[in-house]
Amino acid sequence: MSEELCFKTAVELAALLRSRAVSAEEVMHAHLRQIERVNPTVNAIVTLDVERALAGARAADRALAGGEPPGVLHGLPIAHKDLLPTRGMRTTFGSPIYRDFVPDADALLAERLRNAGAICIGKTNTPEFGAGSQTFNTVFGATRNPWDPSRTCGGSSGGAAVALACGMLPIADGSDLGGSLRNPASFCNVVGLRPSPGRVPSWPTLNAWFTLAVLGPMARTVQDVALMMQAIVGPDVRIPFSSPETGRHFARPLAREFKGVRVAWSRDLGGLPFEPAVVRALEPGRRVLQALGCEVEEAEPDLRAADRVFRVLRAWHFEAAYGTLLDTQRAQLKDTVVWNIEEGRRLSGHDVARAEIERTELHHRIGTFMEQYEFLAAPVVQVPPFDVNRPWVTEIDGQPMQTYLDWMKSCYLISATGLPALSIPCGFTEEGLPVGLQLIARHQDDFGLLQLAYAFQEQTGTWKQRAPLVA
């Protein structure tokens, strides 16, 4: 019964909890036992507060017994990505500088999840300051892929993806600047949604106008992602571009007819290199979309200048966020973070202005493209999960990568467009490693994106396959 509870969907668990068919304490004990069994192998949950978790579960049971209306996430365990400040719980940002840092206030996302009834049990692993799509740091070490513990789980929301794949959590949160929700979801056979900027407001923040980085949900199913969106979506006056829509927008039925809907199928997003194993694993995805009734056409969006836009704005952001640390504690920063900050310091006002102009032009070009197609389908990743001891991919299909960012262009070029994007389980390589399909929707059509992802999921059932570590 314990492991069975751990692999129920969040929607199923929430219904059982609301009906009192199972108690929050039972659910919590089941997940804590799963963490005890599996986490030593994968190192996904790096801070765990058992007493706080059980106290929260008991309080949830008392509240329900006393007639209090349950929130949409009532009684569901969650661990927050270790970039998200949590009151009274260590938040390291994956950095030795903050090894013992304990915030005195919750981030807005943690607050919203708690108000919806989720119970925080700890934190999930992330690379230092979320830099890079490989989850390792000097504070906690590396997080391993449950499909093959000798491989990486991706990143930077790697701990979250692994915890979901292993049944240690039913829901998880993450963040995505260049692919950090989508990449680990693809590597771990779970769902990761990069919402439209402003859909899930991020507070605290040093730059309330920065739209390249977003917060979002991860789960094993699209329905569970939609459930989380009900709790975390909504405006906040501290974030000037936050969306006015509330979470109720995501409570509507996901089922939809897709006959005749035009979908652009991109093989390589305009010429990016891909390992052949990834290409082969994605091919059945095209047939799935066709089976849903979609009119699928090969078409490549014009992403010219998206690479420069992303790199310039990312570097500018890193200097703004971490420049002071470079001046005061350089020796404790990893080399790639140092490089990114220094890239930001080399920028001129002209560089940033040019990037913003090119981003505006990109927005209009991609908007014109998406007038022809309601959705774009493309690879999430360019390589399968690789050796956990490799910091980053240095070559793809014979083409050398110059920086630790290059191998994730298939994600970060889409980040530069501002369109909502999602990784949905699609297939496996010949070695049995997961590969996700990236689905991309029109400007701010996050709900339509979830509808297509739900239809795809129900057609394939790929998400039901469990990692060998927990199968």
Residue 7 carries which DSSP code?
T
Cα-trace Rg, the chain: 21
Answer yes or no: 81 catalytic. yes
Catalytic residue among 81, 123, 334, 409: 81
Cβ atoms of 455 and 256 closer than 8 Å: yes
Residues in the chain: 471
Strands (E) in 33-170, as ranges, are 45-48, 77-81, 119-124, 136-137, 141-142, 144-145, 148-152
Task: Tell me the C-alpha distance between 443 and 110, whole Å.
Answer: 26
Task: Tell me the C-alpha distance between 451 and 312, whole Å.
Answer: 33
How far is C-alpha 318 from the geometric centre of its chain's CA atoms?
Answer: 20
Catalytic residue among 23, 180, 243, 415: 180
Answer yes or no: 186 catalytic. no
Task: Name, in order, each residue with C-beta under 8 angstroms of 417's C-beta and a sequence gap of 6 or more.
Answer: 301, 303, 306, 362, 363, 366, 440
- The continuous run of DSSP H or E covering 194 comes out as strand 191-194
Which of 136, 156, 152 minimizes the C-alpha distance to 84?
156
Catalytic residue among 23, 95, 133, 156: 156
Ramachandran region of residue 345, left (φ > 0), alpha (ψ -120 to 50) or beta?
Answer: alpha
Answer yes or no: 123 catalytic. no
| b/e sequence 184-218, b meaning 16+ C-beta within 10 Å | bbbbbbbbbbbbbbbbbbbbeeeeeebebbbbbbb
Q: What token pair was written down for 462?
A: 């790929």
Active site amino acids: 81, 156, 180
